[in-house]
Every structure is written in C-alpha cells, then in structure tokens.
A and B are shown apart, each in its own frame.
Chain A
Amino acid sequence: MPEILSAPLVVEFPFTRSLGPVQSAFLTGLRERTVLGVRTTDGRTLVPPVEYDPVTADELRDLVQVDPTGTVTTWAWNPSPRRGQPLDRPFAWVLVRLDGADTALLHALDAPDPEAVRTGMRVRVRWAAERTGAITDIACFEPYEGGPGERTGAPHGGVFTDPVTSILAPARLDYTYGPGRAQTRYLEALAERRTVGERCPSCRKVYVPPRGACPTCGVATDERVEVGPAGTVTTFCIVNIKAKNLDIEVPYVYAHIALDGADLALHGRIGGIPYDQVRMGLRVEPVWSEDGRHPDHYRPTGEPDADYDTYKELI
C-alpha cells in the first residue's frame, strides 16, 4: 500500500452580497460613524437591524439612531486570535447592547486581560480609520466610563445620499485534501504512466478512475486491474469557448473514452486530429504530459473504428 496522498486545497470565494434597504442603511451609517437600529411594531429597537421582526415576522423599515456607547451583556476571552478576527492581540468577544437598543451586537472588545472585562461594563465603539460600509467599520469596542445618552453628532433618520448597496465578503478556507485509498492507488499508477481501475467483487465491473465503491452494488472495490492504454471514444462534444487559465486553442474536442478493459468511460481531450473528424468509435491512446502525472490528451491510434456494439453499454 503506497503512502496516502495529500495536497493543500485552498477554497477562496469573494461573495458579493446585495443589501436590502435596512442593511444598506445600517452599513452606510457605520461608514458615516452613525449606528442605526430598526424599530419593531411593538416598540423595541433591534441593533443590528433586520428587515423582518424575528418574533412577529412584520416587515421593519423604521430606522432610528442609537448611541455608539453601550453595555456588555456577555463576553468571552479570546487568548489566541485567529485569522480574520478583528484584533491580532488577545481580546474579548462581546455582545453589546448599545444605548437606545433592546438587542445586542456581536463584536470584539479591546482589553488588556480578562480581569478588565465583566458583564455590565460600559463600552463604546472605536471606529476604523478607513470605512467602506461594513461591520468591520467598527474596529472594535473599547472601555468607556460615561453613562448613556451622550450621543455624538446630530440625530439621523437613515437616509444617505451615497448609500452602499452591496458588500464584498471575501472568505478563505484552507484544507489538506486527501483522496483516500482508491484514488491514491490510481494517482500513483498514473505517475508510472499506467491506468489502473478497480473491479467490483460482486458485479465484476471495472471502474476507472476508481472511487473505492461500486455504485451499483454499494460494496468496496479493491481488485486492481490495469486497463488501456488504448480506448474508444464513446461520445464527445466540441468546445468553442476558451477556458480561463487554460492554454488550449478552440475549438477542441472533449470526449468520453472507454479504455480497453474498463466498464466506465473517463473524460479526456482529443488531439492529433482535426476537431471535425472526431467520431464515436474512434480508437485513441494517451499522450502523456512532460511531468508524466496524467495524460495531456488522447490521439488516434490509427486502428479501424470500434464496432458500435462493443461500446454502446458505456455511453
């Protein structure tokens, strides 16, 4: 059994999210150093504001300004900040009920140690130097000695001349991808320019690439079977749009290829023949890439075409 392969896998996605009228006003307000809540039909003020009342499901649009000062309702001490979190030194996570609000906002509190934090302590917003209309326009909270009602700036009704209407929410997650036993064996064989499938002990079908299980019988496949190298085009399509980061001239042919001895067709590009001469039944063989880890494409072997009956089950 070869060593199980693994490789770093980074998933990054910059979601652009559109904002409704309430979220837009709230985040634009943060850009302008103004905190807005939304008033419910029964007179509570929700901060951060939402578009529908979580209790009554009423539509909410009545924006009201609250203070940038508030009270900690619960907290947690974070001794080891992680990537993306608001501060890069130990800090407290806090839920803060801002003065004028009836619900609490999650954020970070800049404090030297856990002894400096308690439920009920007074805090105020520390604004980020550069603000774009995002929750991170609040850099964090900081301890504050004053009482409620010391609002900064004039009251605001939530109408802005230049509102933000969307946010860009970048995310990055790091994984170590492991393909498991069956695919490791397949990839190891490819490195030796061999294609290896696995046979189902029950129905005797050979799967290429093997995934460790027979989808028909639901049992593990583990008898290794070398297949190919040549095979038959079972079906194909002509690609006319150039893929980003892919140095292949269009049009080209992408095909299902049933390697000799395999009971499942795999995918591959067809080269060495004009795209409009590729046909079902064409006999092809792999052309290995320089680094030898996988076939770059398949080219005609020059044999006569396969008879339809020999591959019709694999289309």
Chain B
Amino acid sequence: MDPARDVAVVAFAQTDHRRRTDELSEVELLMPVLHEVLDRTGLRTGDIGFTCSGSSDYLAGRAFSFTMALDGVGAWPPIAESHVETDGAWALYEAWVKLLTGEADTALVYSYGKSSPGDLRSVLTRQLDPYYVAPLWPDSVALAALQARALIDAGDTDEPELARIAARSRESARANPHAQLPGARDPGEYVVGPLRTGDCPPVGDGAAAVVLAAGDTARRLCARPAWIRGIDHRVEPHGLGVRDLTDSPSTRLAAERAGAFERPVDTAELHAPFSSQEVVLRKALKLGEAVRVNPSGGALAANPMMAAGLIRIGEAAARIHRGESDRALAHATSGPCLQQNLVAVLEGEPS
C-alpha cells in the first residue's frame, strides 16, 4: 500500500538514561525532552496537531499515571491527545495513522518509564497470562533465558556469541552520550542461565520524544526528514509453549508489510533487550553482515521501559537526519520473548 501522504520523523530527543532518578517525578523527567524536541523544530505546543504518548501504570505503581505527565505538554487550551499503555513506538504508529488521515499535519509522540521505584523483573510478570503463567511469577530474565536456551539447542548461537553481541552493543554505545552502559564489560555471573548479567539490559529511567510531520511541513521543519516508508506491527500467541521461540514470524511479517525487504537497508535499530533476541531478530529480518546493527548501542546499553522502542525509531531517524544513513529499519518489541513486534522503514532523500 502506498500511503496517501508522506510522513516523516523530523526531530528526536531523549534523556540521559540512568539507574535512578529519585529527584524527579515523571513529568519532571519528561519535560526537558519535550522542550528539546520542540526546540529542534521551532514548533510550540499550540502548533502540534496531535499528541500521543506511551507509558505504563505498573512501572509507577499508580493508576492513570500518564495524566500527570500531560502537565508537561501544556494541555490547556485543550489538545488532541491519546495514550497507549505500552512502548511509545506504538504511540508513534497511532500518530502516523492520524497524519495519514489528513486530520493533522504534525504530531508529538513521547514516552517514558521510571523502572527504579519498583522491582522491574517482578513488575513485568503482570503482563503475562493471569491464569496459567503469572501465578508462577516467572520474571522477565527467566523467560528470555528459556528463549536463549532454545536458540543454543537449535544451533543458532552459543554463549560466546551472545557475549560478543553484548560487547559490540556496549562498545557502540561509547558514541552515545545518553547510554546508561557505554563500553564493553565482563559478561558477569548467570542471572538465569544461560543468560549472564552481560546478556541482560540495564534497568533504568528515561524518556524520549519524536516529532512527526507530513509533506511540505516536514521539509520546512527539517533539512533532511526521515520519511516513514512503512510501519506495521504484529502479535504472536501469548502462550509461550505455542510459539517457536527461535523465530519471530511476527517481526518478519511486520517487516514485509512495512516494505523492509523491497530494498536493502544500511542501518537497523533493533529493540533486543537481551543479547539472544538480536539473534532471533537478525534471522527474522534477514539482515546481512553489511547492515549496521544498533549503532546507538541498542537496548543492551539503555532500556528505559516504554521508551526503548520509540528510541529505536528516533535513533534510526536521527542517523538519516545527520546523513549517516539513507535507508534504515527500526524495530520495537513488547511482551515476553518478543511477543509483539513493530517494524518501521525510514528513508532520507538523496543528498
């Protein structure tokens, strides 16, 4: 399908991701990022046609926590606004659709998560099937470790390769001033075997924001817009024992529908919180060695919940803005073992 209008990412901003931000409420964490992303375009809050955010009450431990963050947007006079209770990449999808309808020419998308107040591994058990799985409290690392073991048994990877993925990601993050874990480090002890500390993402707090714009508005706001050529997202059964954990058919299908396989990409920002998940995604997306994977360091270097997926789109777009990429793939995930996956394809015009 050819979209009715061209929509682009025209600006991206993110916080420095940190293990704790005790001195900041959610809105205090978020607001500098909102100002930064608007400053980059010269837009004011009142100029934005649609606002969409992603976050989760379970991180905050409070109901309707996103309403507090709205104070940072300037929601008076009333704005057109929506919220998704998941990663901000899905908020971006909603905003993209809104722009395609022609009801708005610009959109502000933001997401944030403070994982530090709670125990993230336990908090994430609440997204599992409440009848058969959640009562056993299998934490997020345990479920990723089941997937990692399946990959090793299938001959798709081994522990040394997982360590190399983690080291490469964190070395790349040295060039990313926002990363929480820049620089390779020791693989560490087993957290849940076969995954070691080094295979797992850091737990931290952070926020991100993106501005989307359509057509000539995008050209006016950005010297080299990152045009969204396609986005799609797909979900797999919630039963882990129903799925082939070594594969990600939902990622492959989303990529196909987003047009990822029509021409090669030069860059891929993959939301792979665990080293083993990069193995699954590379296979599903048929990424060759020529593709630069996670030049930002990826989620192994900074994984602010609900923002890390949006950051993948933002990082891919920022490389296009800077002329470092011509065609980039961005991927976001949610749920255990890559249950839900979103793929976006971004392109810059020839410079």
Interface residues of chain A, those whose CB is within 8 Å of chain B, are 4, 6, 9, 11, 15, 17, 19, 23, 27, 46-48, 50, 54, 73-79, 82-86, 93, 95, 97, 103-108, 114, 119, 134-136, 167, 169, 171, 173-183, 211-220
Chief secondary structure at chain A's binding surface = mixed
Residues of A near B118 (CB, < 8 A) are 173-176
Cβ A95 vs Cβ B239 within 8 A:
no
**CA A109 – CA B61 in complex, angstroms?**
32
Taking CB as reference atom, which chain B residue is nearest A9?
B61
Minimal beta-carbon separation of A91 from chain B (angstroms): 10
B2 at the interface (CB under 8 A from A): no
Cβ A219 vs Cβ B119 within 8 A:
no
Cβ B136 vs Cβ A54 within 8 A:
no
List B74-97 residues whose CB lies under 8 Å from chain A. 74-76
List B133-149 residues whose CB lies under 8 Å from chain A. 133-139, 142-143, 145-149
Chosen A-B contacts, 26 in total, with CB atoms closer than 8 Å, are: A4-B22, A50-B239, A75-B149, A76-B142, A76-B148, A76-B193, A76-B194, A83-B122, A84-B135, A106-B138, A114-B193, A136-B136, A171-B134, A173-B118, A173-B122, A174-B122, A175-B118, A211-B68, A211-B71, A213-B72, A215-B70, A215-B74, A218-B34, A218-B71, A218-B72, A220-B28
B242 at the interface (CB under 8 A from A): yes
B130 at the interface (CB under 8 A from A): yes
Chain B 1-41 interface 0/1 with A at a Cβ cutoff of 8 Å (1 = within) = 00000000000000000000011111110010011000000
Cβ A135 vs Cβ B117 within 8 A:
no
Asked, given contacts A174-B118, A216-B74, whether A6 binds B22 with beta carbons under 8 Å apart, the answer is: yes
Taking CB as reference atom, which chain A residue is nearest B34?
A218
Contact of B241 among A19, A82, A105 (CB under 8 A): A105
Cβ A173 vs Cβ B123 within 8 A:
yes
Cβ B135 vs Cβ A183 within 8 A:
no
Residues of B near A11 (CB, < 8 A) are 61
Q: Total contacts A to B, CB within 8 angstroms?
A: 186
B190 at the interface (CB under 8 A from A): yes
Taking CB as reference atom, which chain B residue is nearest A207?
B71
Residues of A near B26 (CB, < 8 A) are 180
Contact of A85 among B24, B70, B136 (CB under 8 A): B136
Residues of B near A218 (CB, < 8 A) are 31, 34-35, 45, 71-75
Residues of B near A174 (CB, < 8 A) are 118-119, 122
Cβ A82 vs Cβ B139 within 8 A:
yes
**CA A215 – CA B153 in complex, angstroms?**
54
Taking CB as reference atom, which chain A residue is nearest B142?
A93
B168 at the interface (CB under 8 A from A): no
Residues of B near A177 (CB, < 8 A) are 61, 117
Taking CB as reference atom, which chain B residue is nearest A179?
B25
Cβ B239 vs Cβ A54 within 8 A:
yes
Contact of A182 among B25, B75, B195 (CB under 8 A): B25
Residues of B near A215 (CB, < 8 A) are 70-71, 74-76
Asked, given contacts A4-B23, A178-B22, whether A106 binds B122 with beta carbons under 8 Å apart, the answer is: no
Taking CB as reference atom, which chain B residue is nearest A6?
B22
Most buried by A among B126, B153, B194, B241: B241
Cβ A135 vs Cβ B23 within 8 A:
no
Contact of A74 among B34, B73, B192, B245 (CB under 8 A): B245
5 further A-B contacts with Cβ under 8 Å, apart from A46-B242, A103-B242, are A83-B137, A93-B142, A97-B241, A135-B132, A173-B58
The 9 closest A-B pairs by CB, nearest first: A180-B25, A218-B74, A104-B241, A76-B145, A84-B137, A54-B237, A77-B193, A213-B71, A175-B61
Cβ A181 vs Cβ B28 within 8 A:
yes
Taking CB as reference atom, which chain B residue is nearest A44?
B242
Residues of A near B76 (CB, < 8 A) are 215-216
Chain B 154-166 interface 0/1 with A at a Cβ cutoff of 8 Å (1 = within) = 0000000000000
**CA A251 – CA B150 in complex, angstroms?**
63
Cβ B74 vs Cβ A214 within 8 A:
yes
Contact of A77 among B23, B116, B143, B190 (CB under 8 A): B190
List B146-186 residues whose CB lies under 8 Å from chain A. 146-150, 153
B98 at the interface (CB under 8 A from A): no
Asked, given contacts A4-B22, A103-B239, whether A119 binds B149 with beta carbons under 8 Å apart, the answer is: yes
Asked, given contacts A106-B240, A175-B117, whether A169 binds B27 with beta carbons under 8 Å apart, the answer is: no
**CA A79 – CA B197 in complex, angstroms?**
13
Contact of B27 among A74, A83, A173, A212 (CB under 8 A): A212
Minimal beta-carbon separation of B284 from chain A (angstroms): 18
**CA A47 – CA B135 in complex, angstroms?**
17
Asked, given contacts A79-B193, A183-B25, whether A73 binds B61 with beta carbons under 8 Å apart, the answer is: no
Cβ A119 vs Cβ B28 within 8 A:
no
B121 at the interface (CB under 8 A from A): yes
Chain B 105-118 interface 0/1 with A at a Cβ cutoff of 8 Å (1 = within) = 00000000000111
Cβ B150 vs Cβ A74 within 8 A:
yes
Cβ A219 vs Cβ B31 within 8 A:
yes
Residues of B near A46 (CB, < 8 A) are 239, 242
Contact of A180 among B28, B34, B240 (CB under 8 A): B28
Residues of B near A95 (CB, < 8 A) are 146, 240-241
**CA A211 – CA B75 in complex, angstroms?**
14
Minimal beta-carbon separation of A215 from chain B (angstroms): 4
Taking CB as reference atom, which chain A residue is nearest B134?
A169
Residues of B near A176 (CB, < 8 A) are 116-118
Residues of A near B145 (CB, < 8 A) are 76-77, 93
**CA A182 – CA B71 in complex, angstroms?**
13
**CA A76 – CA B337 in complex, angstroms?**
13
Cβ B61 vs Cβ A76 within 8 A:
no
Residues of B near A78 (CB, < 8 A) are 142, 192
